[in-house]
Amino acid sequence: MSKYRFSFPPYPLGWYQVGYSDELLPKQVVPLEYFGRHMVMFRTESGKVSVLDAYCPHLGAHLGYGGTVEGEDVRCPFHAWKFNCEGMCTSVPYGSEKISPKARIDTWHVVEINGLIMVWWHPEGEAPMFEVPLLEEYGHEDWTPYETRRWKVRTRNQEMAENAVDTAHFHYLHGTQNMPSATMSTEGPIMRAQSTTVMETPMGSVEGVVNVMALGFGFTLVRFTGLVDTILVNSVTAIDEEYCDVRFSFIVKKSGGRSITKGIGMAFVREIERQLEQDIPIWENKKHVKPPILSDGDGPIGKYRVWCRQFYTDPNAQP
Ligand code: FES
Ligand SMILES: [Fe+2]
């Protein structure tokens, strides 16, 4: 067995959340650290979000620490050079020479959708190969705003995403009454899995259907249909080779009065939190076994791992 915990690279390609829309106001500048890189994210005065590599090409200041937005540009705190959303230097406030075309910063593809700010990551810098789907229920009057939770977990995206198809662990680790039977299908970067589950709520046990739709490893929708419909947006973004930033954002369909929506919605949130906190010590300490020894009672783990391969440009690379 390999001495490494993982036999795949740390940063699979895809769309990954780096923030929430409502946490980035116009003129706000925020440093980011993902994929082992340093970046700066800002919102211009007109409301556009831009993500650039962090360092100023002049003398290397990090634009996320003291940088300011002026109109549609970000201004470096060190000597006040300005850069636009495309990373081009637009102004040097002293000196008389023409601005060098080399005075530019690499930019990231950004989308702002479903209340999330997401960037495209590709190990070789290729343009986006698929789009993030619109979650129509988000922002709809029949649904609550996001209830959010966040964790920093010492594992990799692929390991966490395997949770959905690992049916046996739901009973033995999470204590669910039965082992859900999952059906799984894939279509390009999308994986869908459906299972049934029984959840304990203040109103007693509720039988529900769980539909998972994963777009690569960065954006997963989990729809729980039962007494109250709930949707979980699950985002996992690699910080570096060791850690992932995990954000859970829940919306609940309003029905039967606010207290019922709140009661059952919160029971669902607590149940998912409880399960995640049981998963974390497993993920933080396990290693990726390849090939695994499976029993016929296991979920579609082999099929899941075949789907995973498309997100690596070199799936056999050692860390
Ligand atoms: S380091 Fe940014 S302007 Fe000098
Ligand atoms: Fe789990």
Residue 128 falls inside a structural domain: no
Task: State which ligand 1 atom lies nearest to the alpha carbon of 76.
Answer: 2
Residue span of the structural domain in which 91 resides: 14-121
CATH assignment of the domain containing 186: 3.90.380.10
pTM for the whole structure: 0.94
What average pLDDT score do residues 280-295 get?
95
At 284, the pLDDT band (50, 70, 90 cuts) reads: very high
Q: What is the pLDDT of residue 319?
A: 42
Minimum mean pLDDT range among 116-125, 160-169, 197-206, 303-312: 197-206
Q: What is the pLDDT of residue 201?
A: 66
In angstroms, what is the span from residue 23 Cα to ligand 1's centroid?
Answer: 27
In angstroms, what is the span from residue 266 Cα to ligand 2's centroid?
Answer: 19
The answer to whether residues 157 and 264 belong to one domain is: yes
Ligand 1: list residues with CB < 6 Å. Answer: 56, 58-61, 76, 78-79, 81
Residue 138 falls inside a structural domain: no
Residue 7 falls inside a structural domain: no
The answer to whether residues 229 and 300 belong to one domain is: yes
What average pLDDT score do residues 193-212 get?
78
The answer to whether residues 282 and 174 belong to one domain is: yes
At 13, the pLDDT band (50, 70, 90 cuts) reads: very high
The mean of the pLDDT values for the chain is: 92
Q: What is the pLDDT of residue 86?
A: 96
In angstroms, what is the span from residue 183 Cα to ligand 2's centroid?
Answer: 17
Q: Which ligand is nearest to the CA of 272?
A: 2
According to DSSP, the β-strands at 82-83 and 73-75 are antiparallel
Residue 126 falls inside a structural domain: no
Number of domains in the chain: 2
Task: Check whether 107 has a pLDDT greater than 60.
Answer: yes
The answer to whether residues 291 and 152 belong to one domain is: yes
Residue 127 falls inside a structural domain: no
Task: State which ligand 1 atom lies nearest to the alpha carbon of 79.
Answer: 3
Residue 20 falls inside a structural domain: yes
CATH assignment of the domain containing 29: 2.102.10.10
The answer to whether residues 116 and 153 belong to one domain is: no
The answer to whether residues 200 and 267 belong to one domain is: yes
Task: Check whether 315 has a pLDDT greater than 60.
Answer: no
